[in-house]
Structure 1
Amino acid sequence: MSQLLVTEAELHAYVDGFLSEVRQREVEAYLAERPEELARVQAYRAQNEDLRALFQPVLDEPVPSRLTSGLQSWMQTYGRYAAGLLLAVAGGIGGWMLHAATQSNTMLAQLNTSPVPLKVSTLARQAAVAHSVYSPDARRPVEVSAEQEDQLVTWLSKRTGSPMRPPKLGKLGYELIGGRLLPGESGPVAQFMYQNALQQRLTLYVSTDQAQNKDTGFRFAQEGAVNVFYWIDGKFGYALSAGIDKGELANIAHAVYEQLDKTQ
């Protein structure tokens, strides 16, 4: 049986037709060896078709002119706020997936068994949700690509009010795709996205509103198939998310920490 790793988010992206052709073939091979998973995916597709059939008559109706008038100006004025609200709602919905309790983890020779502060837990949850929302996107997973890394760094640093520099993970097999700005708990946060040769993606979520958190230990959380290592360093909160093995993600988090520590 194939050992190919396929995340829950990728299964949904496969159903919705958002995967690249290469990744789609890999997922098809994965499902061909797993009848139970294939049946579940087919059930998702059947649900989509049922919903489409149910609402198609409404979708085919023309939009009343009274609703379309002024729509463009509304979008220009409020579109950005609506996008932020959408992600916030996604964060709330994604919370149900965090069924596994946040647990202590040894990393960098540190062990922390104290209760997890609320904001730290929120950091992991928001990072995992953002990863699940954007990493399956085959068309536009980032706002600014790695080809424009200098502009990306300048933009994110200006918007967050703090220096932002994506770590180099090429030696670990992951190359930077790019990044984006996201709404955080009390201000903007940055997300950097990486991808390996198998198109497996991981994201680094960087928050700058953690000054009140004195707990600096490394911690591990899990949301569905997404593993998260996160830690606090001064006002910065870092969360590395991916649908990969916990041990592999820990090694990458170690490398990220060392690079960030050298730049401070």
Structure 2
Amino acid sequence: MTSNDPILESDLNAYVDDQLAVGRRIEVEAYLSERPEIAAQIMKDLRVRDELRLALADHRAVTRQATRDAARLLERSLAHRRIFSVFRRAAAIALFVAAGWTAHAVLGPFGATEVIASTPPPAFVEEAVRAHKTTLIRDAMSSQPEAAVFDPAEIRSATAIVLPDLPKGWAVVDTQVFPSAYGPSVELVLEPKKDERLSLFAVRPGSFGVQHVLLFHADNARAAYWQIGDVAYALVSESRKADDLAETARDLSRTLY
């Protein structure tokens, strides 16, 4: 059940901090779905928040100076609309950083790494990996012709899915529409360079969200996935390194704004 209470700055702060009840979170997401500029700012806040969490979880990927830089980035990101909240969150971050480094010095390295996800990925990520493996099978079958004709406007009209702009020089090898739990999904088989294959999977997962790029490892495949509004995306590869794949996915996501 939803309420008629207006969405306040405190609600947006609590949304970023994962402090909202499910019902109120849905109301905030509905509010953001109608205000893309505010949604984009919230997505930036979520990215910086999670970068800080990752920095504290993986001591090998960050130094004290890098953590302080990330905290200053968070402060600048939030200052224009929630001054008081910045000081409150900055104080909490400072205490958390101090406690984390003290524990690291006393107890040794933390066990969590980027490879071991704390929560399972959304269902669409596993669909993306399955679609990628299916295209590899199709690619090896001469009886399954590829559909290299790529018309993003036609795809958008038929599926309501907006696809990112591809980098110059990338070729579309195959275009397929797959069924999913929430309607049609789209997969592009891409060739960034000769003999390299990437799969770009896009689907409307049934909920609004702003999620920066995260990584998922499944068997020999890696997926970099994200969500902007009501469309989610996954870039899947069996050859690219995790950092390279994530950076490529971030480049693609930026073209959607």
For normalisation by structure 2, the TM-score amounts to 0.49
Relative to the length of structure 1, the TM-score reads: 0.47
